[in-house]
Amino acid sequence: MTQNTLHWSGTGIEVHKVVVGPYENNVFTIRCTETGDAVLIDAANEHELLLELCQSLGVRTVVETHGHWDHIQAIPAIRDAGYEVGVTAEDATMLPSYDFILEDEAVIEVGRLRIHTIHNPGHTPGSMSFHVEGTPLLFSGDTLFPGGPGNTFDNADDFKTIIASIDDRMFSKFAADTIVLPGHGLDTTIGAELPHLQEWVDRGW
């Protein structure tokens, strides 16, 4: 199973991906190949598949990019199986249950890997992205997709917030060849999306 799910690999790291549920959520597992430790991003749906993935890849914890229902359906089964779930304080009440709070600009250690947390409000108040130190990988949740920002549900203030967050905390911080791995759909890069920022502002979504 794990070979079929391998999405990206580099020195000391593997990224596995499965697509689950009616909204085709991307669920990523980041694994340190030196220690075998791993973390799963978004316990979205199809808990039996995700539990199999956790067991086969050495997952110890689960972190949520945000609290929307399509990203959290498998959390009860995941926690019942003994895995800890983390989410931002701003989105914590959206989850059925959780174990710890994810702080902005914190470091999650997974084996020898260091994953940096980035608070990206707009899609939800507590939306978070994850960057793996020493790699070109940025897991953007529903904040940034190929072709624009995540849905802000016709809320003008939230749209301004997500645009500012993408500009200040993604486009201004990461190189053009940074790979963006979103919560749905295909990967993109910072370089592919950055030139279109003003177009998104002009269209308003």
User: Which pLDDT value is given to residue 11?
Assistant: 97
Whole-number Cα distances in Å, 2 to 84, 184, 185: 22, 20, 20
Task: Give the right CATH number for 2-203 from 3.40.50.360, 3.60.15.10, 3.40.50.150, 3.30.360.10.
Answer: 3.60.15.10
Model pLDDT for residues 115-149, shown as the tens digit of each residue: 999 999 999 999 999 999 999 999 999 999 999 99
Which pLDDT band holds residue 192 (cuts at 50, 70, 90)?
A: very high
For the chain, the domains span 2-203
